[in-house]
């Protein structure tokens, strides 16, 4: 058993946009698969047609493409264990439902929704189980003839799992250790519905994990309550030997730690809870996405990896390859992970700093164009290299860098009051002459010559440089002065000085 190739799966139901918690689940499965040289399967659990939302599947696939999470097989990837849409596996499930019925491990139940409602009213905390099933309309309580007649009449039915009461069910969880549940708390879950000839989540999930040779089930904590039932199903089929190991990941909590992170928290606090922008086809609502909000996919990956896991030291910045090396399910926390979106911004800032200047320029150029600026990529690359450590998002580059591309027409009043002295206009005119005479306009040479001029004249360096900056930028901010003038070039630098002298006098 230990020689089985690691095979894990991400198995969403196409019921809407993929929540960021689901993305983390997929990421952990991916890291685990890569680390063990195993396979990651992408399965669509679409047996509940009532909850189907058009576009959800495509959305999920596009999200992973953007994030760089690659699957080895499954929907849209192919493979030998298909089909990978559960809705296309009807016949397979029917066979296994039949197997349970024949073995007496499941039974047929005809109770209508109205009958079930009536029971719920009659019996407090009604549960369909060993204590109640004989008073219901099912193949255990009715005679074989009655059952056959009902089926022949075309009555709809469900197949329920027969759960023996008072048994200890042990779930081995890599993160939580051993979880023990008494089977009496479980109800006889519906495994199959004749009405749509489809199994429910539980049966389809177990049959597919078995047939797809899944070795580890890594999924969100919300599925932990289903795990005892899943263990019992494996047993009922006689598949104990190949039962996957479970790992139920910690919940993602609201930023303040009070309760589960919801879509509404994102709207309320102004951060995305979806990887991509989502247009809800039913309501028409649009929810923001990490991609459209300007996050780099590598930053999102790094941020999510640390929500519920850490490498055991303080290291925070990790590439996908490093994460594959370091990830360890045993180091996942049991306790929920607070969704600290400020930290998400910090990660984006760090990844922008690390990103190649040319690639950043490519991302920034469309924004420049929108603002009517068309300059060479070379210039944008230089500007980006000077300014990228000041922003958290590419879109912030415009406000931070626009003075490189657009000459100031107004001068910040506060800076002017503080930095523009009596003699500033004269000094700037002199400075313009000094710069004009330069053949070599490199930052180094400008700096050398200007410093020499200041020293020779005995001028106050701070006053000169501050006034100079005001002429170039229009306010008191920006990088090293001669980095700016080098990018602007001689002509533009002189023009800006002269204009400022005109305006400020
Ligand atoms: N279809 C379930 C979901 O939407 C899969 C849960 C599991 O991984 O077993 O998350």
For residue 245, give the nearest of 170, 186, 182, 181 by alpha carbon.
170
Cα 406 to middle of ligand 1, angstroms: 52
Asked whether 219 lines ligand 1 (CB < 6 A), one says yes
Q: Does residue 70 have an active-site annotation?
A: no
Asked whether 86 lines ligand 1 (CB < 6 A), one says no
Whole-number pLDDT of residue 269:
86
CB 382 within 8 A of CB 487: yes
Look at residue 1 and tell me whether its pLDDT is greater than 70: no
Whole-number pLDDT of residue 270:
86
Cα 267 to middle of ligand 1, angstroms: 25
**What are the Cα distances from residue 327, in Å, to 103, 175, 247?**
42, 13, 14
CB 263 within 8 A of CB 252: no
- Which is the closest atom of ligand 1 to the Cα of 219? 8
Output the pTM of the full model: 0.93
At 482, the pLDDT band (50, 70, 90 cuts) reads very high
At 382, the pLDDT band (50, 70, 90 cuts) reads very high
Average pLDDT over every residue of 193-202: 94
Share of residues in the chain with pLDDT > 70 (%): 100
- Which is the closest atom of ligand 1 to the Cα of 9? 8
Q: DSSP class of residue 332? A: B
Whole-number pLDDT of residue 237:
98
Nearest-CA residue for atom 5 of ligand 1: 11
Where residue 330 falls (left for φ over 0; alpha for ψ -120 to 50; beta otherwise) is alpha
Compute the distance between CA of residue 497 and CA of residue 107 in angstroms, rounded to an integer. Answer: 89
Whole-number pLDDT of residue 2:
55
> pLDDT per residue over 54-101, tens digit each?
999 999 999 999 999 999 999 999 999 999 999 999 999 999 999 999
CB 159 within 8 A of CB 100: yes
In the set 94, 254, 263, 338, the catalytic residue is 263
Whole-number pLDDT of residue 11:
98
Q: What angle do CA 422, 417, 454 make, to 5 degrees?
A: 50
Average pLDDT over every residue of 428-448: 97
Nearest-CA residue for atom 3 of ligand 1: 12
At 398, the pLDDT band (50, 70, 90 cuts) reads very high
Look at residue 3 and tell me whether its pLDDT is greater than 90: no
Q: DSSP class of residue 447? A: H
Compute the distance between CA of residue 213 and CA of residue 208 in angstroms, rounded to an integer. Answer: 8
- Which is the closest atom of ligand 1 to the Cα of 15? 4
Q: Which residue has the higher pLDDT, 3 or 335?
A: 335
Nearest-CA residue for atom 8 of ligand 1: 219
> pLDDT per residue over 213-252, tens digit each?
999 999 999 999 999 999 999 999 999 999 999 999 999 9
Residue in 45, 85, 208, 216 to alter for ligand 1 test, most ligand atoms within 8 A of Cβ:
45
Average pLDDT over every residue of 156-178: 97
Look at residue 489 and tell me whether its pLDDT is greater than 90: yes
Q: If you average pLDDT over every residue of the chain, what do you get?
A: 96
Average pLDDT over every residue of 364-380: 97
Residues with Cβ within 8 Å of 185's Cβ and at least 6 positions away in sequence, in order, are none
For residue 402, give the nearest of 473, 480, 498, 492 by alpha carbon.
473
Whole-number pLDDT of residue 36:
97
Q: Quickly list DSSP for 359-402.
A: HHHHHHHHHHHHTT----HHHHHHHHHHHGGG-SSTTHHHHHHH
Asked whether 249 lines ligand 1 (CB < 6 A), one says no
Asked whether 223 lines ligand 1 (CB < 6 A), one says yes
> pLDDT per residue over 449-467, tens digit each?
999 999 999 999 999 999 9
Average pLDDT over every residue of 458-479: 97
């Amino acid at each position: 058993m230990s020689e089985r190739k690691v095979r894990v799966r991400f198995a969403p139901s196409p019921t809407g946009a993929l929540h960021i918690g689901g993305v983390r689940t997929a990421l952990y499965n991916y890291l685990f698969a890569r680390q063990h040289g195993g396979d990651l399967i992408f399965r669509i659990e679409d047996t509940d047609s009532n909850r189907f939302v058009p576009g959800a599947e495509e959305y999920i696939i596009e999200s992973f493409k953007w994030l760089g999470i690659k699957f080895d097989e499954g929907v849209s990837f192919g493979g030998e264990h298909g089909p990978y849409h559960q809705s296309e596996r009807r016949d397979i499930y029917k066979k296994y439902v039949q197997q349970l019925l024949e073995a007496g491990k499941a039974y047929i139940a005809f109770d209508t929704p109205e009958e079930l409602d009536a029971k719920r009213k009659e019996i407090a905390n009604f549960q369909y189980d060993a204590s109640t099933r004989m008073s219901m309309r099912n193949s255990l309580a009715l005679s074989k003839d009655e059952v056959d007649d009902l089926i022949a009449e075309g009555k709809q039915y469900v197949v329920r799992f027969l759960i023996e009461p008072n048994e200890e069910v042990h779930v081995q969880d890599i993160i939580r250790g051993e979880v023990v549940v008494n089977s009496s708390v479980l109800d006889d879950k519906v495994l199959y519905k004749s009405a749509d000839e489809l199994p429910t989540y539980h049966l389809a999930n177990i049959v597919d994990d078995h047939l797809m040779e899944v070795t580890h089930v890594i999924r969100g904590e919300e599925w932990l309550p289903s795990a005892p039932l899943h263990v019992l199903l494996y047993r009922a089929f006689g598949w104990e030997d190949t039962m996957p190991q479970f790992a139920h990941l910690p919940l993602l909590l609201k930023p303040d730690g009070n309760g589960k992170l919801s879509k509404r928290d994102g709207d309320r606090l102004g951060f995305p809870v979806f990887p991509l922008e989502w247009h809800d086809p039913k309501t028409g609502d649009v929810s923001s996405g990490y991609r459209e909000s300007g996050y780099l996919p590598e930053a999102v990956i790094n941020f999510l990896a640390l929500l519920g896991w850490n490498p055991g030291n303080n290291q925070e910045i990790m590439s996908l390859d490093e994460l594959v090396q370091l990830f360890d399910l045993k180091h996942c926390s049991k306790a929920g992970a607070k969704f600290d979106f400020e930290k998400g911004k910090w990660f984006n800032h760090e990844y922008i700093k690390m990103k190649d200047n040319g690639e950043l320029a490519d991302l920034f150029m469309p924004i420049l164009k929108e603002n009517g600026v068309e300059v060479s990529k070379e210039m944008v690359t230089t500007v980006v290299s000077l300014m990228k450590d000041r922003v958290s998002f590419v879109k912030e580059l415009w406000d931070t860098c626009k003075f490189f591309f657009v000459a100031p027409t107004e001068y910040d009043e506060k800076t002017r009051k503080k930095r523009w002295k009596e003699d500033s206009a004269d000094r700037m005119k002199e400075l313009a002459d000094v710069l004009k005479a330069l053949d070599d306009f490199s930052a180094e040479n400008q700096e050398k010559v200007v410093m020499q001029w200041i020293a020779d004249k005995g001028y106050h360096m701070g006053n000169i440089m501050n006034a100079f900056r005001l002429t170039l930028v229009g306010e008191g901010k920006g990088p090293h002065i001669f980095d700016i003038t080098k990018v602007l070039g001689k002509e533009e630098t002189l023009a800006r000085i002269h204009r400022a002298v005109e305006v400020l006098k």
